Amino acid sequence: MISENPFDQFRRECQTVLSNALKKTLPEIKTPAITLSKTPNIEYGQLASSLCFELAKKLNQKPLSLAEHLVGAIDKSSFKLIEKVSCAGAGYINFYVNFAKFSALTLESVKQLKFDYGFVKTAKPNKIIVEHTSVNPLHPIHIGQARNPLLGDALARILECRGYKVSRHYYIDDVGRQSSVVAYGYEKLGRPKPTEKADHFVGKIYTVTSCLVEINRLKKARDLAIAVHSADDLVKVNKEIDEWMSIAAELKEKYPVLFESLMAKIGEDQNPEEEINRLNRAYEDGEPKAKQLIREVSDLCLEGFRETMKRVEVTYDSWDWESDFVWSTQVSEVLQKLKTSPFVYSEKGVLEFDAEKVVQVLNLKGKLGLGENHEVSPLTLVRADGTTLYTTRDIAYTLWKFKHAQKVINVIGMEQSLAQLQLKLALYALGYGEYAENFVHFAYNLVTLPGYKMSSRRGHYITFDNVLDEAVQRAYEEVSKRSPQLSEKEKRKIANFVGLGAVRYALVDVDSSKPVIFTWERVLNFETNSAPYVQYTHARACSILRKAAREPEKPAFELLSEKLERELILNLASFPDTFVEAAEYLKPNLIADYANVLADKFNTFYNALPVIKAESQGLSDARITLTQAIQIVMHNALTLIGVVAPEKM
């Protein structure tokens, strides 16, 4: 017999025997929902119920007396995985698993299901769109943004294994001033061919162009302040000019040829800011020349992104251009429909969406988890010059996504929480309440590097590519030190999957609501809580199995009586529960945590107890089977978060 979820099978048996005892002893009481919690120590059993504390209040009895009465009424002849049931403390009911049977069930289930073990399928395999990464095509993906694709990819992998039909989407934000800035600079240079990785090339053009255009704008603002005799404005603008001149000096030193070329070309225009605004409006209006220019430079940047994502095995099913929604009727249709609602008003030519009014009229405070004093800011839909804003366009995009899926998950930084809430409220305002309730903003916190302050406008950022390169190089040095006997080719191969895996694990392992403090000491720690540590443990399990060089014939599971062994079996049996929780609550960090705990327990077991040379053949076979199961489950957990599970290290 095998089970896709051994621990849940034990839990359901406990619930059934307790429910039957309740019906037998207290037939007049409506059987409540029976919840069971894991005990803090396996010496006290594996599951416990606090039901008697709740019932005691209703029946005016002592919890312990009630617990004793119920335990006495339990039908022991129905036990399959339960060994015994006892009272504990002031009225708990504790359930003890029959480890001989439970070990056999768990280890045989893992062995037979193998790389499908743990991946319990949902009863409703709906279509889900996971939109992630979506970095603007302006500069390379930097380490601060890299958490997005790795979280998004882990979510997609987990949901897919849960049985959902997942589609991964990249939303290309090519509409707006920033895209026009980089396109303006690119055209001024004569649309050059990249001389390095395309996104790095585009990023340098964007940074220098943005700086020079801003200095030009500020100088005009200074002239105006002088002309109108505004001393306060003059002080403020001079301070900004000084800051930007400092940035310009840095950029000139870093990219002298590019800087001089752009400064000369941009200097030919009397008003670069107006040229950029004109290009921005032309692109949103779909003018052919503007379309060709901005798409060309965006494609260059995306080419670089694809290279980076291929390296970490992150893929996309759809690349969705923001501009396509603008050029079609979809954005205008959304605006028209919103205008007919009571939630939109015009103020000085600017179209505003009253998000708070939606909350009040539809009574959404409780549903959205908003405090009574929380007031949602209005959303500007259209500027005075007629151009739309990002969130306005995102409404049309979201409606399009819901035509292709029942659930939409946007992996976007928590700094966008207000915009994502306004988007959800726009769905409610448009009458799409079901869409709103199936729209999820998966928010994540920042990545910080101690002692390093990132600034896109200064060109101060550490690219994801550079982090991956350094991770692989550091891993190579560590592998060379630990395994000098390996060939150069083997060292490079191992260093590659160790380095890339280390970065992936580090950016997924921390709860998404918390910031990641990125240090090499933590990321490439071979001793605890890192991808290299778990990978090394997986390779150790594979090594034991190679040395055993036999398939266990008669494992005596009843001999797995050490506390360490039992904890490992419970851990393996609980993997499906962890997986389901990670999928349904969108918590990929639970999988990384699980892999680390399993690695810890296995290493302790390996150091304490002989496997191949155990006291008897039956025990040796049982421990080899246990090691096989650990290797399989560790592989399954690492695969969910996109980390290679190596056989050798």
pLDDT tens for each residue of 362-373 = 999 999 999 989
Which CATH architecture describes the domain 6-97? 2-Layer Sandwich (3.30)
Residues near 327 by beta carbon (within 8 Å), at least 6 away in sequence: 286
pLDDT for res 128? 98
Does pTM surpass 0.85? yes
**Rounded mean pLDDT of 437-461?**
83
At 77, list the tokens: 């002849």
pLDDT at 86 over 80: yes
At 623, list the tokens: 């421990």
Residues near 413 by beta carbon (within 8 Å), at least 6 away in sequence: 148, 443, 444, 445, 446
Are 14 and 22 contacting, i.e. CB atoms less than 8 angstroms apart? no
228: how many CB neighbours lie within 10 A of its CB? 9
Mean pLDDT of the chain: 95
Residues in the chain: 649
464-640 has the same fold as 127-174+318-448: no
pLDDT at 410 over 90: yes
89: how many CB neighbours lie within 10 A of its CB? 14
pLDDT at 59 over 80: yes
Confidence of residue 429 (pLDDT cuts 50, 70, 90): very high
pLDDT for res 455? 67
Of 601, 618, 588, 644, nearest to 155 by C-alpha is 588
Of 439, 588, 378, nearest to 128 by C-alpha is 439
Secondary structure (DSSP) of 572-603: HHHHHHHHHHHHHTT-THHHHHHHHHHHHHHH
pLDDT at 394 over 70: yes
**Rounded mean pLDDT of 334-338?**
96
Domain range 464-640, its CATH number among 1.10.260.40, 1.10.10.10, 1.20.1250.20, 1.10.730.10:
1.10.730.10
Angstrom CA distances, 214 to 2, 39, 76, 218, stand at: 67, 62, 80, 6
Are 129 and 401 contacting, i.e. CB atoms less than 8 angstroms apart? yes
pLDDT at 264 over 70: yes
pLDDT for res 449? 84
At 83, list the tokens: 């060994």
pLDDT at 275 over 80: yes
Confidence of residue 385 (pLDDT cuts 50, 70, 90): confident
Confidence of residue 456 (pLDDT cuts 50, 70, 90): low
pLDDT for res 1? 84
28: how many CB neighbours lie within 10 A of its CB? 5
What pLDDT digit, counting tens, does each position of 99-157 carry?
A: 999 999 999 999 999 999 999 999 999 999 999 999 999 999 999 899 999 999 999 99
**Rounded mean pLDDT of 302-320?**
98
For the chain, how big is the Rg over CA atoms in Å? 30
pLDDT for res 458? 67
CATH class entry, domain 127-174+318-448:
alpha beta
What pLDDT digit, counting tens, does each position of 17-56 carry?
A: 999 999 999 998 887 889 999 998 899 999 999 999 999 9
Q: How far apart are CA 255 and CA 262, in angstroms?
A: 11
Burial degree of 278 (CB within 10 A; 0-12, 13-18, 19+): middle
* Burial track 492-503 (b if 16+ CB lie within 10 A, e otherwise): eebbbbbbbbbb
| pLDDT-above-90 percentage for the chain | 90
pLDDT for res 349? 86
DSSP code of residue 130: E
Angle formed at CA 367 by CA 363 and CA 370, multiple of 5 degrees: 85
Look at strands 350-353 and 379-382 and give their pairing. antiparallel
* H or E segment to which residue 534 belongs: helix 531-548
Secondary structure (DSSP) of 157-205: HHHHHTT-EEEEEEEE---SHHHHHHHHHHHHTTSPPPSS-HHHHHHHH
Confidence of residue 457 (pLDDT cuts 50, 70, 90): low
Q: Domain coordinates of the chain in residue numbers?
A: 6-97, 127-174+318-448, 177-311, 464-640
pLDDT for res 31? 79
pLDDT for res 354? 97
Q: How far apart are CA 534 and CA 539, in angstroms?
A: 9
Q: How far apart are CA 423 and CA 163, in angstroms?
A: 28
Confidence of residue 387 (pLDDT cuts 50, 70, 90): confident
**Rounded mean pLDDT of 219-246?**
92
